[in-house]
Amino acid sequence: MAGTHEREIWLRFLSGPDIDSLELTRSEIIAAIDGVMAAHGRGETVFEPRMHLMPDNGGIGHFNVLRGHVSSLGDHGVSGVKVVGDFVPNYTLGLPSELAMATLFDPTTGVPLAVMDATLITEARTGAMTAVGAKHLARPGSKILGHVGARGTAFSNVTMLDSLFDLDEIRVTSKRPESREAFAERLRAEIDTPVRVVETADEAFDDADILVEATRLTEPSPLLRTDVVKAGAFVVPYGTISAVELDLLDVMDKVVVDDWREARSGRFGALRAHVDTGRLSEETLYAQFGEIVSGQKPGRESDDERILLWHRGLSILDVALAHLILDRAQQADVGTMLRYR
């Protein structure tokens, strides 16, 4: 039986509306991601390979389980676990394709600190990673963004990139015309940069300075063709199923990944075939992104470099944003305190 003098433990529950009420800014989110990638570069993070839970549901979706620890956050560091569903047909039900929940823990006692809706975290951390990548690796004077894909993290990608660069034009497309038109309208309501809807990936990427491939294919298809990547371009392919050509890396001056162990693992990812065939290896890789953010290796060194960043979605990004949210919620006394024991 529990001891009679055992102290009470309470944790903070943060719903989606709770988190929305905190009104986190894009600059705060970008700073948190920049900070945790620098910590990764300095060896101040611990994380396990992501795991998948594949329910017996006819293949309509699966769960990803991400586990991470960041030593540089808070007084003693913070540990966290996120479970996120990936159910592409959810749009037919009026639901996001990715619904997530995160838990944070004190790594010195195991005490749970918070349970929160992590749907915003999942969207924002991916867009912020794309933006932080561009901050360090794209040409500072980049003017044209080409973005393929309109659901999930797409909105966060575009708006966060727009917050960092003085763009002249944003081109967007996706498989379904109604999807890309709705995406463009949502963007126009949020940002001032002209947004142009195009029909094909080639049109979106032609002469673009920043090329983001965020498609949700069911079968590999070369939407981001090698010959559309101009000198000086920054390329971010991160669709689950590959949408790039095998010779894409042949024209790249630098190939960067968020974490090499994660890049090598799993069955999915934009450059899975490149790893499997040896085109991307420890020898051909330029750097892990944290090495660049922490100043151990230079990022972009000339305007003409073609640079590619492949990010898989590290659990430490989720932990960093969940910690930021918890910190803000504690300051504002937002959320519901729940008795744990």
In a domain, 4, yes or no: no
What is the per-residue pLDDT for 103? Answer: 98
* 113 CA to centre of own chain: 24
- Same domain for 41 and 188, yes or no, is no
pTM of the complete model: 0.92
Provide mean pLDDT across the span 169-180.
93
Q: Which helix (H) or strand (E) holds 69?
A: strand 62-70
Count CA atoms closer than 13 A to 126's CA, side-chain side: 25
Mean pLDDT of the chain, nearest integer? 92
**Average confidence (pLDDT) over 71-93:** 93
Distance CA 335, CA 248 (A): 47
Using a pLDDT cut of 90, give the percent of the chain over it. Answer: 75
Question: Domain check: are 174 and 56 in the same one?
Answer: no
- Between 268 and 192, where is the model more confident? 192
Q: How many domains does the chain have?
A: 2
Convert 127-177 into a string of H (helix), E (strand) and C (coil): HHHHHHHHHHHCCCCCCEEEEECCCCCHHHHHHHHHHHCCCCEEEEECCCH
Residue 114 phi, psi dihedral angles, 5° rounding: -160, 150
Please state the rounded mean pLDDT for residues 155-183: 95
Do 172 and 116 belong to one domain?
Answer: no
The domain containing residue 331 runs over which residues? 10-121+316-339
CATH at residue 116: 3.30.1780.10
pLDDT range class, residue 159, cuts 50, 70, 90: very high
Kindly report, residue by residue over 107-151, the tens digit of the pLDDT: 999 999 999 999 899 889 999 999 999 999 999 999 999 999 997
Q: Looking at the structure, tell me whether residues 103 and 20 fall in a common domain.
A: yes
Q: How far apart are CA 76 and CA 200, in angstroms?
A: 49
Is residue 60 located within the same domain as residue 14?
yes
**Are residues 20 and 144 located together in one domain of the fold?**
no
Taking CA atoms, 280 is separated from 223, 243, 290, in Å, by 20, 16, 18
In a domain, 5, yes or no: no
Distance, in Å, from the CA atom of 16 to the CA atom of 36, rounded to the nearest integer, reads: 23
